[in-house]
Structure 1
Amino acid sequence: MKPIFAKILDGKINDVYGIKVVDAPYFSTDFHFHEECQLTYKIESEGRRMIGDSIEDFNNEEIIFVGSNLPHVWHNSQQYFSDSTPNTHAYSISLFLHPEKILDIFHEPENIQKLRNFFQLAKRGMKFNLSTRKEIKPLLLKITQATEEITRLIVVLEILNLLCQNKDYVLLASPGYTNNYQLKDNDRMDKILKYVFDNFNKEILLVDAAEMTNMNKQAFCRYFKNRTQKTFVTFVNEVRIGHACKLIAESDHQISEMAYICGFNSLSNFNKFFKLAKGVTPKEYKKMLIAD
């Protein structure tokens, strides 16, 4: 799934921010990146998201901050695209911020170092925890309801102040992640990532993925690793482990059942890749959730 470069505030030279509300049956964006930072509050929906090299399931009431030029996509679970589940819904609010234009508002450089550091850190993507969500949510809703520009701008600055002061977050992309995608790439990556997101619970063969992108296996492996900084097999297993974490947190399935539900062909493989990805076994992970 190739990330597309998107111009968010194009043609609005003086604008430092923009707001977008999605209220639809499902999210339909492609894997993309843009110069603007993006604060997204997923009010209603579920599925899988990829931010840089981070792959996780997402649910309702999630707030993510995506830094400048960091590739990202939210892709709904398969039931959102099925006629048999007509009541599915996707609802989100996104605040787009142009980092350089925000910084230019302030005339004393020594007073904005904290904000500059925040924008730099956000290039890995940030997932905010419950306490921050409770503060940010009403402010984002206030922006969508405000009728005066000055009111919206004040709220935007209030949100930025909260984010800069806050330490209650998890960084998503790995420390060494860099965006290796090129605008001249075609839609190969977009096609293959969405294919994995929709079929991770089934057998996925490397040769089939290569054929989907009109490459041989060796060329596909090089292409995929160069852009995602991980092998295709690792990527597929990370998608499966992400779904397993969701099942452990939300269901009463036995660990042995989860292995096959998530697409692993054996319990031993499931345990092996789970510990590789999370640093603990599935049973240990479940105990950690209960302890919390």
Structure 2
Amino acid sequence: MKQPLRKDLEPVSASFVVKELVEPHFDPNWHFHPHFQLFLVEEGTGTRFIGDSIKPFSPGDLVFLGPNLPHLWRSDQAYFNRQSTLTTKGIVAYFTEDFLGAAFFEKQEMAPLRQLLNHARQGLEWTGPTRERVATVLRSLATQPVGFGRVLNFLTLLNELCYATDYQYLTSVSYTNTVKPNETDRMQLVHDYVLEHFPDELSLDRVADLAGMTSPAFCRYFKTRANKTFSEFVSEVRIGHACKLLMRGKLNITQISFESGFRTLSNFNRQFKDITGQTPSAYVKTYRQL
């Protein structure tokens, strides 16, 4: 049975939802929903897809997404193995723009919060000290009883994010979600196939056939939905995997290039710099300084 790309959350009586997620792996389905989402990864590694952004994730990953922004935290393949004892953990907060009333964020005092919500439509990621402070508050909110104090703490958290400067946007300025809620899960099939086979030679004809389209039609479809070509998408998945291997520090650069699906080291180095803006060795130095 095909799964819809649009994900509807269970209705709740509280104004917002904060819950802890503990699963063998994160939800493997590429989807979007009409809620704002603040998500912290506490345990687990993999590749994060948000709009047209593709990046590796690890514990401490903190992002804020606006409504209907497609996303997927795809756990590494090891988490899907039947014998795996690995676990993923995260804390997620969901809320709608009118969770405190239709006109609440239109008030003069709410201008900074309104700006934060507008920025979240492009996706935000915090990479500095803000992450630790937010993580502490989210853990507290996840266990705090529903009441006025909980709402106040949540608004205080959002207010802190308004003034935090250690953030970056995730999607490109030109990105727009063009996927209709009633579309079939073609993009899910593409994600699954690429993530399972990116170390190998990928066939465009095979992927197009999975999507039920001719190769030219699929290329046009994919670029419209992903804001990038299919080959660019594959390269970013491969480089994202290479980044994870570099951070682990167990393989040399030549080994990593082949493990990530590149057949020549020169092509790997060129694409790595095109996508990350750094050479592999410079990337490692930057990571170790964080």
Q: What TM-score do the two structures reach when normalised by structure 2? A: 0.92
* Alignment CA distance shift 1:2-1:193 (3 Å): farther
Instruction: Quote the offset at 1:10 in angstroms.
Output: 4.2
Kindly report which structure 2 residues correspond to 1:185-224, keeping only aligned pairs within 5 A, or say none. 185-224=183-222
* Alignment CA distance shift 1:166-1:210 (3 Å): same
Instruction: Tell me the alpha carbon deviations over residues 45-99 of structure 1, each in whole angstroms, 9 at most, x when there is no partner.
Output: 11111001001111122211111221111111111111232x1111111001212
* Alignment CA distance shift 1:260-1:29 (3 Å): closer
Q: What is the alpha-carbon distance in structure 2 between the residues aligned to residue 274 and residue 107 of structure 1?
A: 42
* 3-state SS in 2 of match to 1:124: coil
Which residue in the other structure is 2:38 paired with? 39
Q: What is the alpha-carbon distance in structure 2 between the residues aligned to residue 235 and residue 287 of structure 1?
A: 26
Pick one of 267, 270, 280 that aligns with 1:269: 267
Q: What is the alpha-carbon distance in structure 1 between the residues aligned to residue 70 and residue 162 of structure 2?
A: 22
Q: Is the 8 Å Cα contact of residues 199 and 258 (structure 2) preserved in structure 1?
A: yes
Q: What is the alpha-carbon distance in structure 1 between the residues aligned to residue 27 and residue 79 of structure 2?
A: 11
Q: Which amino acid aligns with 1:38?
A: Q
Whether 2:148 is the aligned partner of 1:150: answer yes
* Alignment CA distance shift 1:106-1:274 (3 Å): same
Which residue in the other structure is 1:226 paired with? 224
Q: Is the 8 Å Cα contact of residues 18 and 142 (structure 2) preserved in structure 1?
A: yes
Which residue in the other structure is 1:120 paired with? 118
Instruction: Quote the offset at 1:102 in angstroms.
Output: 4.1
Whether 2:30 is the aligned partner of 1:6: answer no
Instruction: Quote the offset at 1:281 in angstroms.
Output: 2.3
Q: What TM-score do the two structures reach when normalised by structure 1? A: 0.91
Q: Which amino acid aligns with 1:180?
A: T
Q: Which amino acid aligns with 2:34?
A: E
Q: Is the 8 Å Cα contact of residues 2 and 185 (structure 1) preserved in structure 2?
A: no
Instruction: Quote the offset at 1:276 in angstroms.
Output: 1.4
Q: Is the 8 Å Cα contact of residues 103 and 116 (structure 1) preserved in structure 2?
A: no
* 3-state SS in 1 of match to 2:99: helix
* 3-state SS in 2 of match to 1:33: coil
Q: What is the alpha-carbon distance in structure 2 between the residues aligned to residue 236 and residue 108 of structure 1?
A: 42
Whether 2:235 is the aligned partner of 1:237: answer yes
Q: Is the 8 Å Cα contact of residues 7 and 34 (structure 1) preserved in structure 2?
A: yes
Pick one of 159, 162, 165 that aligns with 2:160: 162
Q: What is the alpha-carbon distance in structure 2 between the residues aligned to residue 53 and residue 78 of structure 1?
A: 22
* Alignment CA distance shift 1:103-1:119 (3 Å): farther
* 3-state SS in 2 of match to 1:70: coil
Instruction: Quote the offset at 1:191 in angstroms.
Output: 1.1
Mark the runs of 5 or more structure 2 residues left unpaired by the alignment.
Answer: none
Kindly report which structure 2 residues correspond to 1:177-188, keeping only aligned pairs within 5 A, or say none. 177-188=175-186
Instruction: Quote the offset at 1:150 in angstroms.
Output: 1.9
Q: What is the alpha-carbon distance in structure 2 between the residues aligned to residue 84 and residue 148 of structure 1?
A: 38
Instruction: Tell me the alpha carbon deviations over residues 212-249 of structure 1, each in whole angstroms, 9 at most, x when there is no partner.
Output: 11222111111111100111111000011111122222
Q: Is the 8 Å Cα contact of residues 75 and 194 (structure 1) preserved in structure 2?
A: no
Instruction: Tell me the alpha carbon deviations over residues 20-60 of structure 1, each in whole angstroms, 9 at most, x when there is no partner.
Output: 32211112252111221101111111111100100111112
Q: Is the 8 Å Cα contact of residues 3 and 31 (structure 1) preserved in structure 2?
A: no
Give the total of aligned pairs: 289
Whether 2:51 is the aligned partner of 1:52: answer yes
Whether 2:100 is the aligned partner of 1:99: answer no
* 3-state SS in 2 of match to 1:32: coil
Q: What is the alpha-carbon distance in structure 2 between the residues aligned to residue 267 and residue 215 of structure 1?
A: 33
Q: Which amino acid aligns with 2:107?
A: P
Q: What is the alpha-carbon distance in structure 2 between the residues aligned to residue 163 and residue 3 of structure 1?
A: 32
* 3-state SS in 1 of match to 2:25: coil
Which residue in the other structure is 1:84 paired with? 83
Runs of 4+ in structure 1 off by over 6 angstroms are none
Mark the runs of 5 or more structure 1 residues left unpaired by the alignment.
Answer: none
- Mean Cα deviation higher: 51-60 or 2-11: 2-11
Q: What is the alpha-carbon distance in structure 2 between the residues aligned to residue 21 and residue 117 of structure 1?
A: 27
